[in-house]
Chain A
Amino acid sequence: MTIMLFQLPEELQRLQSDLREFLDREIRPIADVRDAQGPLSRAELKDLFLKLTPITQMQLEAATKRRMLSWMIFSEEMARVWTSLAVTVTTSLGTIFYLASRAPEHMRARLIKGGLEGDIIGCDMMSEPEAGSDTGNLKTTARLEGDYYVVNGQKMWPTNGPWADVGILSAVADPEAYAKNRREGVIHLIVEKAVSPWQVRDLPFIGLRAGTTGHFIFENCRVPKENLIADSSKGYSQNLAGRGGARIGVAAYGLGIMQAALEDSIDWCKKRIAFGRPIGGFQLVQEMIADMATDLECSRLLVYLAAELMDSGARCDLEQNMAKAFVTEVAKRVTDKAIQIHGARGLTTQEGFRLERYYRDAVTGQIGEGTIQIVKLVMARRILGISAVV
């Protein structure tokens, strides 16, 4: 199938406009008021999940034909009106769907239903205090003892952490093997708080204020051995396989933020008068708008290309990484220009202007799912066949 993405397939165009209309009407008004107040409560979160039901259903349907591409559109449109909620919802659903396909039979239906209705929140537990970029430095262990894995260690920075009812936990099952080769000795477990209680606290960020980020402590936490979803030989590459989708997912949020920033800016350019005319009539402002639009277009094309390749089953780690690195880098300058165009109103947290929120939300993307430096090193390793990651 030849896909050149200057135009989304018709059904996805429809999906996009349906999503946008719904979100503008139902979610945007809430977002603009609520985001600054801090993390949602569980009750608010559940309410929002239920509210979103029509569009999550739309997306699920579209996903039967174009899984990743429809997921990108969904993520972008949500991020356009409430990035924080987009991150929360897509991370939770993404994790839960991933788990559901690999979990023990008896869990699957429960997970999916709970996930869609906001009763079960999912999160990915990978990074640790000593292991962000350096995934060879995991310290959390999972020791098989009889019918349980006993987990000890910490996880830091997982999105949704404090809310999480269920998660994918990466842990070292065979420290000796892991020490010799970081691709060995790592397993993935489904962990459920109700079954294997843990401690967790929130780590507030510069952006994504309505969301939460967890710092977990596991002390002799017992996880049923049936919860193993990837063993030592597959753990590493399974982890990688998941990361690809997550990586361009982060890029999709960036698209939404930039789209919103550009729309608001174009609006303001026509409305705001200075020196006797709309500021959109000044060359310096026009240049900024032209550059913002270009950055957004390149970003979109890269993300859609990666998503399309994923949907067609082609290897596309290079394209995924490229999209992620590029989008998160340019989102900073797009949201910066949006602030500049708005002058002081670009800085204010009130008055109905959202620019400073875009700026703060954009910054997170350059770290989550891989710093720009790491992502570029992985890209170059693929292009050159030489690793400079270590």
Chain B
Amino acid sequence: MQFQLPEELQKKQMELREFLDKEIRPVADARDAQGPLSREELKDFILKLRHMGYVTGPTRRQYGGLGHGYLERVIYEEEMARVWPGLAATVGTHSGVAAHIIRSGTEEMRARLTKPMHDGDIIACDMMSEPQAGSDTTNFRCTAILEGDYYIVNGQKMWQTNGPWADVGLLLAISDPEAYAKDPRQGTVNLLVEKSVSPWKVRDLPLIGLKAGMTGHFVFENVSVPKENLITTEGYKENLIGRGWARVAVAAWGLGLMQAALEDSIDWCKKRIAFGRPIGGFQLVQEMIADMATDLACSRLLTYRAAEMMDAGIRCDLEQNMAKAFATEVGKRVTDKAIQIHGARGLTTQEGFRLERYYRDTVTGQIAEGTIQIVKLVMGRRLLGISAIR
């Protein structure tokens, strides 16, 4: 199936795939089920992957990164998710937040944090959702009130990828409760929070999939954050910057997962004999393969298109949302069919089969960065000019 990626990008994709198949896939298959990586393991992977352009890719060239475009980043994420979604989400989130901090932060932050983040000595995460505020971003409660030289942070953040490992975070909090109450696009700040300076409590929230990763539940009790750590008083707008790419990234991980599920299935179709012939010779199985390939192709086209528009600087919130909603929705049925094609081997956690892991890993994508319902309502609002979100 051809997608007409620019030639250099096609080449890069093949390089990445070769590297990941050789260096990462064998580790992933053995390691994923064992649970969250240790800090040492994570740092090792970051350094290994950096050679191929991960980690530093999203950071702008002027700040010491590789300055990858969005389409390029999609390819990177897709290839990683093809072999290890748990690691893709971890490293992808870290790299993206690092790039964001580096870009939007102060000179001082850049000088201090760029190298350690690129080396994997400091892990970054986003801090946005709260226990009572997932979809409803008008309902935040975490505050960061300026008192003298410090912002005093009180509240909780929940469901943050990389949370328990994080040394630094990009915190969205309410600095002016009155203003926020009047208009939730006002009265919030973005702060850089550092654990070594402003210690917090955090625990892991294990999920159905992405087992090698960690997801943080933070509690901030009168945590002091130096006022120099202010990134911007336009917290709402700043946060939106991250969200657009994050949606496309989730879609890209979906692409990788579906690609792997389809490859394994095509392989099995030719190998597995039943009723005297390869099961790929049965019409019902052929239909499943055709549908899987189509779901993947559509997802890919939508995602690549959104990334291209981002690279061209064209407004594309609709296209970003569409890619995210579609790829995560069809990811479920693709991985489900992959299990069906493999029969009982599709359920087993061992024996060298990965299908049940694809099935579990794909489910997170339909929630992270916006439930399918919310994303569709945002699309609907854009298409109709009428909001039905509340």
Contacts and interface: CB of A to CB of B under 8 A. Distances in A.
Query: In their complex, do chains A and B touch, with some C-beta pair under 8 Å?
Result: yes
A282 interface: yes
A104 interface: no
Interface in A159-216: none
B38 interface: no
Contacts of A384: 266, 269-270, 280, 286, 289
A297 interface: yes
A387 B283 CA distance: 9
Nearest to A377: B286
B1 A4 contact: no
A4 B290 contact: no
B380 interface: yes
B298 A326 contact: yes
B294 A287 contact: no
B1 A283 contact: no
A293 B287 contact: no
B283 A316 contact: no
Interface stretch (A130-138, A241-249, A301-309): A301-309
Contacts of B309: 6
Interface in B316-349: 318-319, 322, 325-326
A376 B376 CA distance: 29
Nearest to A284: B388
A125 interface: no
Contact of B376 (A4, A266, A287, A298): A287
A380 B71 CA distance: 29
A14 interface: no
Interface of A: 2-6, 266, 269-270, 278, 280-283, 285-287, 289-291, 293-294, 297-298, 301-302, 305, 308-309, 314, 316, 318-319, 322, 325-326, 373, 375-377, 379-381, 383-388
Nearest to B262: A383
B322 A4 contact: no
B380 A290 contact: yes
Given A6-B305, A301-B302, A270 B385 contact: yes
Given A2-B6, A294-B322, 4 more contacts: A6-B309, A283-B377, A290-B375, A297-B322
Nearest to A293: B383
Given A281-B386, A294-B326, A376 B319 contact: no
Contact of B287 (A2, A322, A376): A376
5 A-B pairs with least C-beta separation: A286-B380, A380-B286, A376-B290, A301-B301, A298-B298
Nearest to A326: B294
Contact of B282 (A270, A287, A388): A388
Contacts of B380: 280, 283, 285-287, 289-290
B304 A4 contact: yes
A9 to B, nearest CB: 14
A379 to B, nearest CB: 4
A266 B1 contact: no
B383 A386 contact: no
B7 A287 contact: no
Contacts of A5: 305
Interface of B: 1-7, 71, 266, 269-270, 278, 280-283, 285-287, 289-291, 293-294, 297-298, 301-302, 304-306, 308-309, 318-319, 322, 325-326, 373, 375-377, 379-381, 383-388
A382 B319 CA distance: 30
A287 B321 CA distance: 13
Contacts, number: 158
10 contacts: A6-B319, A286-B376, A286-B386, A290-B377, A293-B318, A305-B301, A325-B290, A377-B286, A383-B289, A383-B290
B153 to A, nearest CB: 35
Contacts of A377: 283, 286-287, 290
A323 to B, nearest CB: 9
Contact of A282 (B278, B308, B388): B388
Contacts of B383: 266, 289-290, 293
Given A280-B386, A379-B290, A388 B281 contact: yes
Given A319-B2, A386-B278, A301 B289 contact: no
Contacts of B381: 286
Given A291-B376, A302-B297, A383 B266 contact: yes
Given A289-B383, A294-B325, A305-B4, A388 B283 contact: yes
Nearest to B301: A301
A386 B376 contact: no
Contacts of B306: 6
Contact of B305 (A4, A287, A325, A381): A4
Given A269-B386, A376-B290, A383-B290, A302 B269 contact: no
- Among A269, A294, A377, the most chain B Cβ lie within 10 Å of the Cβ of A294
Nearest to A375: B290
B371 to A, nearest CB: 12
Nearest to A304: B301
A182 B385 CA distance: 56
A380 to B, nearest CB: 4
Contact of B322 (A270, A293, A309, A376): A293
B317 to A, nearest CB: 13
A325 B281 CA distance: 20
A167 to B, nearest CB: 32
B377 A2 contact: no
Nearest to B277: A386
A278 B386 contact: yes
Contacts of B385: 270, 280
Contacts of B6: 2, 4
Nearest to B300: A301
